[in-house]
Structure 1
Amino acid sequence: MAEHEEKKHEESFIDKIADKIHGHDSSSSDSDEDKPSKSSIKAKLFRLFGREKPVHHVFGGGKPADILLWRNKKLSAGALGIATVIWVLFELLEYHLLTLVCHLLILALALLFLWSNASQFINKSTPHIPEVQIPKEPVSEFALALRFEINRAFTVLRDISLGRDLKKFLSLCCLSVFSHVDGFH
């Protein structure tokens, strides 16, 4: 008798799980108002771990989410290729960022030079390169501020060397001694 009740309980539990998976609820009536729509069932099925928001929305939506989720396969493959090239350059070949920037600037300058000279032979327009001029006012203000800070540093160094500021002299001596002990040269 106990086995029969246990089987019945087990079957009803399995039926409840099956009904939940298939979107049916045995306790609800068969009216259209109580049944969940197909779109809500489909939306719940495609969300992992019971999330409320889709993954596309979690990643911020738009093009970045499309690239991360491989919805635009060409852009995603391009981003993966660029990341791989950067990793190979910096990790495997031990290339440095400053060297890369300098080489890219030299390459851009060479291409612009060739383009401007070749445009005369093939009757094409020369590249439009805007004229860049640095304004006088901000540069002079920066130079004055830098001059003021350098003069102030010289004054502090002069005061230390003349023995007028013993506290700074001792702190610089201790800093110098400890930097040699720690290996900072």
Structure 2
Amino acid sequence: MPIYSGSSDSEDERTYHKTTKLFSRQRSVHSIFGGGQVADILLWREPKIAATLVIGVSLLWFLMEVVEYNFITLVCHASMTSMLLFFIWSTVSDFLNWERPIIPEVVLDESSFRHLATSFHVRFNQILSKLLDIACGRDPPLFFLTTISLYILSIIGTYFNFVNLLFVGFVTMQTMPVMYEMYEDAVDRVAGKLMRKMRRLYRKVDSNVLSKIPRGTVKNKKLT
């Protein structure tokens, strides 16, 4: 006997029409990313910082992968260049009465690093908790979808080295959230249809295969 009734499909349709948000979320995309400066950068609400970050990371990737700079060599050369520029600036400023170079306080602010580390820790715990929740089998279609996605990611990883994979991941993080926020309704409709199809497929597999697997009976043993 199938464990799902025929009316479950119609109930599933009504549920997904009521809950149109991806993964049944109730919060906005901005609040999911923490609602702070990190969320503003990922969603390009601070375009200057976001663009500077993308350009900087792209330049770093270009130097390491295209120019084939060694990481330690690149850091040393960048440090020497920065020190030389600061030395020239400081020397010239004494003769021309220019303002000496000042490192922005945000770079040296301990709270900024602590906030960044805390945000990363919170996001990592949320992702780990979500993966463990999916692994427990509470949402079988989402479990299969996550497994397939991880398998596809593992295949993609065989064609990229670690630096390229980090760069692709960074570009994805800087483009996917803002694109999803722009086309949220359309993506939610497509994702809802996909999840409904996954649920129907799981029910067919369960009724035609899993429910027909013989299971041994458990006999009660008398305690002597």
Structure 1 length normalisation: TM-score?
0.38
Structure-2-length-normalised TM-score: 0.33
Greater RCO structure (CA 8 Å; 6+ sep): 2
